[in-house]
Amino acid sequence: MATQIPDQKRVGMVSLGCPKALVDSERILTSLRADGYAMSADYAGADVVLVNTCGFLDSAKEESLEAIGEAIAENGRVIVTGCMGDEAELIRARFPQVLAITGAHQYEDVVKAVHEAAPPSQGPFVDLIPANDAGVKLTPRHYSYLKISEGCNHACAFCIIPSLRGKLASRRVDAVLREAEKLVAAGTKELLVISQDTSAYGVDIRHEERMWKGHPVRAHMADLARELGQLRTPQGETPWVRLHYVYPYPHVDQVIPLMAEGLLTPYLDIPFQHASPKVLRAMKRPANEAKVLERLKSWRAICPDIAVRSSFVVGFPGETEEDFRYLLDWLEDAQLDRVGAFRFEPVEGAAANALPDPVPEEVKEERYARIMDVTARISAAKLAAKIGRTLPVIIDEVGEPDEDGDVGAAGRSQADAPEIDGAVYLRNVPESLRAGDFVQVEIEDADAHDLFGVIV
């Protein structure tokens, strides 16, 4: 008599917000898959839908509420998790039919809520399905986010992350390295190291040592970066290791030689936020912009190809025209490779909301346009200087042959993080090219954000 395998319950996921939230979504789905659940790519096929929300800005909260409403309209059985979980009353006031609400990185509570809403299928052929070494991934196979800590010890006036995700809580260094090793063994060619404050990794656990591959390793950004640089893919390649959310503490200088040695991708994502000392003090941020310029110069002397990206807030309360011009002049001196700008937006619970002298919306818009013009000009000049060079590129997507049989592809240089920075567009690539391949590319042209070239 044949054994009838029960139908698997299916879970849909809408993941909003930053890469750190995406990692949370991957962990939740990995746990659910191990419990026998299947994943659904659409609302119609899901027994329950998870919405992982973002609550960093009021606009992000509204986007999260819209996503919850869409999931309810399309499916009806919705569980909410993530940063907006602390605002359960607001969510239930608008959507009383939501099945459950949990906060950020409350993995066990989310899984429990799914079990209650859609009990897992019972049976030895469905339960305890083993996860692969890398778990469920919501990114392409060739790159992965590696979250090394949770929470933050800063008290920036415009931010509510500590109230949403708590104080800094670093992972064990051997656990981080074990996860990285598994990801690379499973096909990851690029590791994107993320946290709320990557430079502070290990401070809360006093940089404790753990044994790894027969030797002790500290829970410290520099030690972790050095060990990650020793990883190799099954093909013997060195995966790219890219550092995000790096505050410019003095010990950041220790990772620059690793970039020069080729152990670490020559790229730093540093959230400077502003340059005016007065605005930085109001933001409760370090106000050492002159020293930062000196360090940028020294980093480039050690590793000429280092790319530095950052983000800046315009229109912070009290920001004068003089403050903004100071920022523009600083950017001319800093010559950052990649820059993102954001108009200041009040966030419920943030200390900045009580500051005097709010900047009018029309002034924010005018300053936003000006900073984007300046940074686009700087970017265009820096990219134009790469014309004629041969650069390593990782392939993200390969197109279909056109009417002439030519195949194009899109990839990224070491100066480009996925979903954030620019791209390298290639012509006449071989049809055998695949996403995740490393190639050498001669740069033929450039615009303000992207490069164009051909494989050599």
Binding residue ranges: 18, 54, 83, 152, 156, 159
Burial class (CB in 10 A: 0-12, 13-18, 19+), 340: middle
Element housing 445 (H / E): strand 438-446
**Annotated binding-site ranges for [4Fe-4S] cluster:** 18, 54, 83, 152, 156, 159
In angstroms, rounded to a whole number, what is the distance separating the alpha carbons of residues 155 and 196? 12
Under DSSP, is residue 394 helix (H, G, I), strand (E, B) or coil?
strand
CA dihedral for 416, 374, 325, 331, sign (positive or negative): positive
Would you tell me how many other CB atoms lie within 10 Å of the CB of residue 159?
23
Separation of CA 401 from chain center? 32
The whole-angstrom separation of Cα 297 and Cα 110 is 47
Q: In what order do the strands lie in the sheet with 240-243?
A: 143-147, 190-194, 240-243, 267-269, 307-314, 338-343
Burial of 351 (0-12, 13-18, 19+ CB in 10 A): middle
Counting Cα atoms < 13 Å in the Cβ hemisphere of 80 gives 31
SS3 for 122? coil
- DSSP letter, residue 237: -
Closest CA to 174 of 228, 132, 217, 140: 217
Supply φ then ψ for residue 442, to 5 degrees: -85, 125
Q: CB-based contacts of 272: which residues, under 8 Å, 6+ apart?
A: 248, 289, 292, 310, 311, 312
Listed in sequence order, the residues at least 6 apart from 426 whose beta carbon sits closer than 8 Å to its beta carbon are 393, 395, 408, 409, 410, 411, 439, 441, 452, 453, 454, 455
* CA pair distance 248, 294, nearest whole angstrom: 12
